[in-house]
Amino acid sequence: MTAKSAGIDGLAIAEYPGPVGIHDADAIARNVATQLIAKIVAGLTQSSEYDDRLAGPRARDQREIVFTGTPDAVTQFFHAREWTDRLPIVAPTIERVEAYVAHSSRLADEEIAVLPSANLRATPWNIAVNAVMAGCLPVHMPLLIAAVQALGDERCSLNNIGSSSGIFPYVLINGPIVNELGIESGAQLVSRGPNPAIGRALGLIVRNIAGFRPGASYMGTFGYPLAIALAEDEKSSPWPPFHTDQGFSREANTVTIGVTNNWGASPAPYDTADKTGAQTALELLCREITKKTRLFNFPGRGPDAEEVMITLLLSPPVAKSLADAGYSKQDVRQYIYENTRMPLRDFEWVLKYTAILRTTLRERVEAGVFPDEFLGAPDDLVRVLSSPDILHIVVCGDPHRNRVMVMEGGHTRPTTKQIALPANWHDLLISARNDSAR
């Protein structure tokens, strides 16, 4: 599928036998010599039958009726073609899709972005199809269009999320539109309000327009949870909101697309007899970062380093305790950058046994990817972050709980786009509220 999107039909595949990541050097050399070389030669010198199953979805007329039947039959038809996340869908009828497109202020076939790896055109029409299927409302269309623009931005590097490490996308929403649409920013935010439907729509867009299908080009070893949507609790935050860090005004409505390898542990920093709550929170965040899967990439810098970003979710009480102790967001980032350290011997173990690339600390230092401190003694403490700039801070979650979450993301960087609202936006909001009241 990736080859076809790059203009190469019928690409011959020479597959290494078995999981190269756990084979030793002798086994790799033996398998290459006895099996892989022959496959490469055959692929270069013999004609092969092209497997149409790898061709991706065929081009369709946007108004084509692909199936008619009962809601259950429609869902099963879509399931069979892998157009769904295996949950029931809302049938994307032409009438529904047209109503959603009407909320976008765009022409139905206007190109919003070209999304790798399938390199298909995202338009208001096919964005609306996925939004309907996910259970979104028509007024969510401007938000989803901005999200697709972010997905298509080269800085987002969407084509790299197929890694077996299980990277999945999320959408962060900022600005007045959060309150206008009732998007949740407080307790249980990813599971309440319109957030689940918006996150699901993002996941379907990545599946059906970007072409990331589990087992074909989306290769997470243990699969993926549904994509998530969250909003920042700007009212409860003691600091300027996330999107202002990205250069937007506080009044702007924005969406940010990020990716993460994890959605899970949310430890709570409590006071102890000899530490303030703020200090405990900072130390806890430093400890959490050293537990992450992509730790071996965190110190990397320069053009040969892999793109890594870390998003810190802080509940309002934690953010308030830090601000009351005199910390700005930049102060928090700087503290974590300077104090997230570990013994060099422990980091070297992580690099040796969990990094995909077979490389050594010395090789990375000599290549300029790691700083010289990584050539120190085994018990030396080394700083494991390349810069405070790889840390992003978002205030959200239960306003009565002191919890934090560290979300790591590899291969991509969070990408923010402003939401363009239709000229009749307020009329559309009033209509949506009246429909909801009915």
What b/e sequence results for 164-203 when a residue is b if at least 16 CB atoms lie within 10 Å of its CB, and e otherwise?
A: ebbbbbbbbbbbebbebbebbbbeebbeebbbbbbbbbbb
Paired with 272 in beta bridges are 275
Q: Nearest-5° angle of CA 158, CA 139, CA 98? A: 85
What b/e sequence results for 22-42 when a residue is b if at least 16 CB atoms lie within 10 Å of its CB, and e otherwise?
A: eeeeeeeeebeeeebeeeeee
Which of the residues in the chain have pLDDT under 70? 1-2, 5, 48-60, 271-276
The pLDDT value recorded for residue 1 is 66
CA 78 distance to own-chain centroid: 25
The pLDDT value recorded for residue 48 is 61
| DSSP letter, residue 334 | H
The domain ranges of the chain are 2-52
| DSSP letter, residue 160 | G
Q: Which residue has the tokens 């010395």?
A: 362
The answer to whether the predicted template modeling score (pTM) of the entire model surpasses 0.75 is yes
Residues contacting 180, CB < 8 A, separation 6+: 429
As given in the structure block, the two tokens for residue 43 are 């692929």
| Residue (of 264, 231, 404) closest to 321 by Cα position | 404
The pLDDT value recorded for residue 274 is 44
